[in-house]
Amino acid sequence: MQNTPKEWSLIQMIRYRVQRQNEHTVVPLGDDAFVFKNFPGYSVICQDMMVEDIHFKLDYASAFDLGHKALSVNLSDIAAMGAQPHFAQVSLALPEKINESWLDDFYKGMSTLGDEYQCEVVGGDLSATQDKLVIDVSMHGSVEKPLTRKGVQSGDLLLSSGPLGLSHTGLLALTKKKDGYEEAKKKHLRPLPRLDLVSGLQERHNKVHALMDCSDGLINDALQLCPHPLGLHIFAENLPIHADTSKMSLDLGIPVEEFALWGGEDFELLLAISPDDYDIFPGWHLVGQYTESPGVFLTHADGKKEITEFKGWRHF
Amino acid sequence: MQNTPKEWSLIQMIRYRVQRQNEHTVVPLGDDAFVFKNFPGYSVICQDMMVEDIHFKLDYASAFDLGHKALSVNLSDIAAMGAQPHFAQVSLALPEKINESWLDDFYKGMSTLGDEYQCEVVGGDLSATQDKLVIDVSMHGSVEKPLTRKGVQSGDLLLSSGPLGLSHTGLLALTKKKDGYEEAKKKHLRPLPRLDLVSGLQERHNKVHALMDCSDGLINDALQLCPHPLGLHIFAENLPIHADTSKMSLDLGIPVEEFALWGGEDFELLLAISPDDYDIFPGWHLVGQYTESPGVFLTHADGKKEITEFKGWRHF
């Protein structure tokens, strides 16, 4: 769109910050579009937006944090397909309060994380805006055997790759300005995509019934995997809860399972498998089971409780 | 990111509006990411953002217009690489004033234009925002022989594929609420990407020294093609000016060439070729020539005038 001299100088600074040697590059950053040699397998694309005062506040999230996180949430989508990331583009709508030093730190956050996963920032756009900072990242990856959300069968176990509710714990610690809770804050501000699990999942890809990343809370996401008219039992005592979450639960008097059931942005992977294959996924946490009978239940040792307040959502 | 029940219902509506039968689709819209079979040649990616009250105002641009234009500016970048478009993703930051019917029209605008060029909307994101509407589109295309911005030589002619300044004419007509100027308004609100020219350019690709789309005004864009330390002469009498622009020029008392030199968003293609090849590009308008001696000049029949006010920009 319309470039200004100020935008050109920013683009130059950004190019210096993000550009890498890459044998797949055919036409680098700085032309009308970026051109690259395809990778083996299929292409995988996704796009995720973060908006100031909806997804983050600038008083607790640094520029580096936001660069890291905007890339990470897309890397997580790539991981959730069992894929590998390659290229990212980022568009920013920038209010006047954002200066060049902030931007440099933002791209440092993006490219530092990107370098860990061989994902290069190769394009995007900059615009002024009169109000809220908006960050929108698209990503290109590749995969030979996509691991999708479809394929859950009755009786399947639901596993999580890590603690649930920890990011929400961090968000509460940040917004309530609580000392401590360092791991929770880090999980919220700089989540790591579970790309470390992709090769292991691909080795057992015919055992993976369904896979997704957990960004909207366990219940909401697990229902995305749930084919109509199956039901879901969540095992309350099994939920993987981090010590910071237990502490926050006591501190605020909120039941600890609420964090795991409804807290978003953990970016752990959720995996559905046959009970027969439970042994071949060590390190994963058993959090639930899909059932023949419909309904969503939280099961404790002493009984089960139906979760009903979201039922209307099932229409969508 | 965090989905809400309202967002899920919107996503369902959008899916109905945009999804197409496509033999390249492997994992459709609705998973963590979209997966597709690669096209022959290289991949081409770009991303362009439009922000309310920076790029458009909602009082003159309809939802359909904005859907059309947000796709079109990306299609134009694909055309400017000599490429073919395939897939688009769109992220929207939505203020409360935007309702479902507006959104439906927006996606209708996108997919109506997309259908003309076999470009399907396959993903993206939705977020609330407290204030300004933000639209960010990324696009995936393919090309066997990329046509880049690099390659201009001294003496090369600069050609434009169509009228320059017409979009700016339309913008003035819209913001000043002038009757008439229908073609100018249409050019501004619903520009068409010059994908119609791509196959012709590819047939003569070894004659194309450089190619880009004209989005920031002729001078700014032509300088993007200009290798240091070459100069540029713009031929004032040759500038392709639409009748609406001439009329606006008289109406407002602004020299007509100002529209072409500085008005943005025409999304015509700018092409640099050897003077020897001028005859094999019929239909293109000769607008300038790159010169051995540096400096940017506007040449008239009665002399030339140096354009100096942007000189500082050359640093970037």
In tens, the pLDDT along A197-210 reads: 999 999 999 999 99
Lowest mean pLDDT among A232-236, B166-170, B226-230, B278-282: B226-230
pLDDT in tens, A94-148: 999 999 999 999 999 999 999 999 999 999 999 999 989 999 999 999 999 999 9
Task: Please indicate whether, in this complex, the C-beta atoms of A73 and B31 are within 8 angstroms of each other.
Answer: no
Q: Which residues contact B226 (CB under 8 A, 6 or more apart)?
A: B152, B232, B290
Which residues in chain B are closer than 8 Å to A1, comparing Cβ atoms?
Answer: 48-50, 55, 73, 215, 264-265
**Residue B241: per-residue pLDDT:** 98
Residue B29, C-beta contacts closer than 8 angstroms, at least 6 positions apart: B15, B18, B19, B122, B123
Element (H, E) at B298: strand B296-300
- pLDDT band of residue B12 (cuts 50, 70, 90) is confident
Q: In whole angstroms, what is the distance from residue A178 CA to residue A187 CA? A: 15
Is the minimum CB–CB distance between B220 and chain A shorter than 8 Å? yes
Q: For A63-72, how does the pLDDT look when each residue is reduced to its tens digit (9 = 90+)?
A: 999 999 999 9
Give A150's contacts in chain B (Cβ within 8 Å): 31
- pLDDT of amino acid A309: 78
> Nearest chain A Cα to B15, which residue?
A316
Give pLDDT tens digits for B68-116: 999 999 999 999 999 999 999 999 999 999 999 999 999 999 999 999 9
Cis peptide bond N-terminal to B85, omega within 30: no
pLDDT at B1 over 70: no
Q: How far apart are CA A155 and CA A140, in angstroms?
A: 34
Whether A51 has its CB under 8 Å from any CB of chain B: the answer is yes
Residue range B138-170, pLDDT digits in tens: 999 999 999 999 999 999 999 999 999 999 999
ipTM: 0.95
Q: For chain A, list the domains and their CATH numbers.
A: 5-143 (3.30.1330.10), 157-315 (3.90.650.10)
Q: pLDDT digits over A279-309, tens only?
A: 999 999 999 999 999 999 999 989 999 998 7
Residue A122 Cα to chain centre, angstroms: 21
Residue partners of B242: CB distance under 8 A and separation at least 6: B163, B165, B166, B169, B183, B184, B187
Question: Are A264 and B2 in contact (CB < 8 Å)?
Answer: yes
pLDDT at A165: 97
Structural contact between residues B22 and B86, judged by C-beta atoms closer than 8 angstroms: no
C-alpha–C-alpha distance, residues B65 and B17, integer Å: 16
- The per-residue pLDDT for A146 is 98
| B316-to-A306, B29, B310 alpha-carbon distances in Å | 62, 40, 11
Q: Which residue has the tokens 């290229």?
A: A87
Q: Are A48 and A82 in contact (CB under 8 A)?
A: no
What is the residue-averaged pLDDT of chain A?
94
Q: Give the Cα separation of B136 and B149 in Å (integer).
A: 24
Model confidence at A11: pLDDT above 90:
no
Q: Could you tell me the pTM of the whole model? A: 0.95
Phi/psi region, residue A30 (left: phi>0; alpha: psi -120 to 50; beta: rest), is left
Q: List, in order, residues 6 or more apart from B12 with CB less than 8 Å away.
A: A316
Can you give the pLDDT at residue B2? Answer: 45
What are the residues facing B134 on neighbouring strands? B51, B93
From CA B295, how far away is CA B306, in angstroms rounded? 7
**A129 touching B, CB under 8 A?**
yes
Which residue among A12, A49, A215 sits closest to B93, beta carbon to beta carbon? A49
Q: Using CA atoms, how far apart are residues B149 and B209, in angstroms rounded to an integer?
A: 8
Mean pLDDT, residues B177-199: 98
The per-residue pLDDT for B311 is 45
Contact A36 B54 (CB under 8 A): no
Q: Give the pLDDT confidence score for residue A311 in this predicted structure.
A: 45
The pLDDT assigned to A7 comes to: 66
Q: Is B125 on the interface with A (CB under 8 A)?
A: yes
β A303-306/B231-235 pair status: unpaired
Q: Does B104 reach chain A within 8 Å, measured CB to CB? A: no
> How buried is residue B21: exposed, middle or buried, by Cβ count under 10 Å (0-12/13-18/19+)?
exposed
Q: DSSP 3-state assignment of B63? A: helix
The pLDDT, as a whole number, for residue A188 is 98
Examine the pLDDT at B313 and tell me if it is beyond 80.
no
CA dist., res. A285 & res. B112, Å (int):
46
- What's the confidence (pLDDT) of residue B277? 98
pLDDT at A6: 65
B289 touches chain A (CB under 8 A): no
- First-to-last CA distance in chain A? 36
Q: Which residue of A has its CA nearest to B69?
A: A1
Which of the 8 DSSP states describes residue A38?
P
pLDDT at residue A10 in the model: 81
Which residues between 224 and 243 in chain A have a beta carbon less than 8 angstroms from any beta carbon of chain B?
none
**What pLDDT band is residue B308 in, cutting at 50, 70 and 90?**
confident
What are the phi and psi torsion angles at B232 (to 5°)?
-145, 130
Long-range interactions of A152-155: CB distance < 8 A, separation 24+? A152/A209, A152/A210, A152/A225, A152/A226, A152/A227, A152/A230, A152/A272, A152/A290, A153/A209, A153/A274, A153/A290, A154/A230, A154/A290, A154/A291, A154/A292, A155/A274, A155/A275, A155/A289, A155/A290, A155/A291, A155/A292
First to last CA, chain B: 36
Cα B130 to Cα B149: distance, rounded to the nearest angstrom: 39
The partner residue sitting opposite B33, judged by closest CB among A77, A92, A310, is: A77
What is the per-residue pLDDT for B7?
66
Q: Is the CB of residue A16 less than 8 Å away from at least one CB of chain B?
A: no
Q: Which of A32, A52, A51, A36 is nearest to A125 (CA)?
A: A32
Taking only the tens place, the pLDDT of each residue in A208-263 is 999 999 999 999 999 999 999 999 999 999 999 999 999 999 999 999 999 999 99
pLDDT of residue B3: 52
Measured in degrees and rounded to the nearest 5, phi and psi for residue B56 equal -160, 165
Would you state the structure tokens that stand for residue A201, as one six-digit string? 């999942």
Written as six digits, the tokens of A241 are: 């809860």
Evaluate if residue A316 carries a pLDDT over 80.
no
A86 in contact with B, Cβ within 8 Å? no
Question: A124: which 2 tokens?
Answer: 């995007």
Q: What pLDDT, on a 0 to 100 scale, did the predictor assign at position B11?
A: 82
- Asked if the C-beta of B13 comes within 8 angstroms of chain A's C-beta atoms, the answer is no
Cβ of A89 within 8 Å of Cβ of B26? The answer is no
